[in-house]
């Protein structure tokens, strides 16, 4: 059976990262979009990362263009947008699909481990998965849950 640590994904610079790089850390995985009503959550995600990275939090952003084509840019454009507009320093990965036949294997796993209101699908941008230091998917939060609302959950795991 797979664990969170068995998956890999391409970072924005094209290098392949394995989730086992994050062993022993608390990880927040988020599907992001640059042109969404929830896009300002980048600011809150970056604040979480800055506030808790030294205690062991990693935030991993996965751009996705499956919801109303709200991230249609290239990987380079997405990265530039995130850095210029929100000062994003947490790890951003190359654009992926989170639903459907071409869904990234990591997202297939996350959806299986923490089903949401729509069962095994992602409803919209900025769905968040919280993973503990052992790689167990602890919780799933919908788009409307602001990053700052996750502080107590994250602090419990840190």
In the numeric block, which tokens belong to residue 127?
A: 């769905």
Strand partners, 59: 28
Strands 91-92 and 128-131: unpaired
Main-chain phi, psi angles of 154, to 5 degrees:
-65, -45
User: Which active-site residues does the annotation give?
Assistant: 36
* Best CA proximity match to 142, nearest among 127, 154, 130, 121: 127
* Best CA proximity match to 84, nearest among 52, 124, 39: 39
């Amino acid at each position: 059976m797979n664990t969170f640590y068995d998956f890999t994904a391409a970072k924005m610079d094209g290098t392949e990262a394995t989730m086992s790089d994050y062993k022993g850390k608390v990880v927040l995985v988020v599907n992001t979009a640059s042109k969404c009503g929830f896009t300002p959550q980048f600011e809150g995600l970056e604040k979480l990362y800055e506030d808790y990275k030294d205690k062991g939090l990693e935030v991993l952003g996965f751009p996705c263009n499956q919801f109303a084509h709200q991230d249609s840019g290239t990987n380079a454009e997405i990265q530039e947008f995130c850095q210029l507009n929100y000062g994003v320093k947490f790890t951003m990965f190359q654009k992926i699909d989170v639903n459907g036949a071409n869904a990234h294997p990591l997202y297939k796993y996350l959806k299986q481990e923490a089903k949401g209101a729509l069962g095994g699908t992602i409803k919209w941008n900025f769905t968040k998965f919280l993973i503990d230091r052992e790689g167990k998917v602890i919780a799933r939060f919908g788009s409307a849950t602001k990053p700052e609302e996750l502080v107590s959950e994250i602090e419990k795991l840190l």
